Structure 1
Amino acid sequence: MNWNYKELLPADFAADSRVWVYQSSRLFTMGEALQLEDLLNHFAANWKSHGTPVKGFGTLFFGQFIILMADESATGVSGCSTDSSVRLIKDIEALYKVNMFDRQSLAFVVKDKVQVLPMSQVKYALENKFIDADTIYFNNLVLTKEELENNWMVPLKDSWLAKRVLTAAN
């Protein structure tokens, strides 16, 4: 799989643009992914904050991660506009029968594919060499475009998760 996602991010968005990453409980099919791209493009094109258009971006990466981005250099994102993005994701959950809010499911790149593991099984996966400290981990807690570019796909050892699982597994 081609893991070069950075070139697909909007170049004209500020580095401190706000980012939300939603990980699906399963891979979307090709047909679903095409429908999703239309939904996300429509949402981003019509995203508003108190009636003012938000410079927004939405896309699906690797068939499993929805990325929403708002460049707040022109219009700040309010509670209402954030709520509208959450409604979109909840609608996607219902439409495609997926879970997009499970923060206990963690994603890694294993054998050139996205593999999702429950947090409770990460230590077992480490002990049994399914993953290791150098396995790429999707840090979905990134908050800005800059963090998305530099800290989203990182070796497990360089993530917040390392303190919780690497010392415990050794």
Structure 2
Amino acid sequence: MNISFQHIIPTGFNNQSRVWIYQNNRPFTKPEMLHIEEHLGNRILEWEFQGTSLQSHVSILFQQFIIVMVDQPATQNNSSYAGNLIGLIREIEEDCQVTLSNRQMLAFIIQDRIQLMPLTMVNDAIEKDLITSETLYFNNTVLTKEELLNNWIVPLKDSWLSNRMPENVESDDEFIY
């Protein structure tokens, strides 16, 4: 599976531009992708900060991830944009009959495909060697363009899930009672 996506991300955005990632529970169809890009793109173009229009971008990557980027640093107060975006995402969920806001569903590249797994199943998948420390994971917690480009698709060992890997979990055998 080709995981190159960096060339799709616009270069004219500051590296600290705010990013939101929404993962679908299934691949989008082409008509759905066109609808989403148009619907979201038109709506976020209206966003302003202190009277100035914000540069924005919407992409759908790997037919499964909606990437919204706004050229406003993640450190600035963006709660109104986040609330507005949540409303737009709910509209898309309803229009397309999909689930975009389930943060308990994680995405991995397994056997050259994007596969979703509930967080509650990760430990079991590790024990059964379905995923390893080298399995690529979509870290949808990134907040900036820079993080998106460098830390979105990472080996499991380099993610917040690394503490679940056997080599990072202390064994009871190591303790003296």
Task: Give the equivalent residue in structure 1 for 2:60.
Answer: 60
- Give distance in 1, aligned partners of 2:51 and 2:118: 40
Q: Which amino acid aligns with 2:18?
A: R
Task: Give the equivalent residue in structure 2 for 1:123.
Answer: 123
Q: Deviation per CA, 1:63-116, whole angstroms, max 9, x where unpaired?
A: 11111111126xx66432222111111111111111111111110011221100
Q: SS of 1:89's equivalent?
A: helix
Task: Give the equivalent residue in structure 2 for 1:112.
Answer: 112
Instruction: Give the alignment of 1:23-102 within 5 angstroms.
Output: 23-49=23-49, 52-72=52-72, 78-102=78-102
Q: Shift of residue 50 of structure 1? A: 6.0
Q: Point out the more displaced range, 51-60 or 6-15.
A: 51-60
- Cα 1:78/1:157, change in 2 over 3 Å: closer
Work out whether residues 122 and 165 of structure 1, in 8 Å CA contact, stay in contact via their aligned partners in 2.
no
Q: Is 1:3–2:8 an aligned residue pair?
A: no
Unaligned runs of 5+ in 1: none
- Give distance in 2, aligned partners of 1:51 and 1:86: 22
CA-based RMSD: 2.1
- Give distance in 1, aligned partners of 2:35 and 2:95: 11
Give the alignment's TM-score, normalised by structure 2: 0.85
Task: Give the equivalent residue in structure 2 for 1:147.
Answer: 147
Q: Point out the more displaced range, 5-14 or 159-168.
A: 159-168
Q: Shift of residue 117 of structure 1? A: 0.1
Count of paired positions = 168
Q: SS of 2:141's equivalent?
A: coil
Unaligned runs of 5+ in 2: 172-177
Give the structure with higher Rg (CA): 2
Task: Give the equivalent residue in structure 2 for 1:19.
Answer: 19
- Give distance in 2, aligned partners of 1:36 and 1:138: 21
Q: Which amino acid aligns with 2:129?
A: K
- Cα 1:78/1:131, change in 2 over 3 Å: closer
Work out whether residues 49 and 81 of structure 1, in 8 Å CA contact, stay in contact via their aligned partners in 2.
no
Q: Which amino acid aligns with 1:140?
A: N
Q: SS of 1:12's equivalent?
A: coil
Percent identity over the alignment is 41
Q: SS of 1:46's equivalent?
A: coil
Give the alignment's TM-score, normalised by structure 1: 0.89
Q: Shift of residue 51 of structure 1? A: 5.2
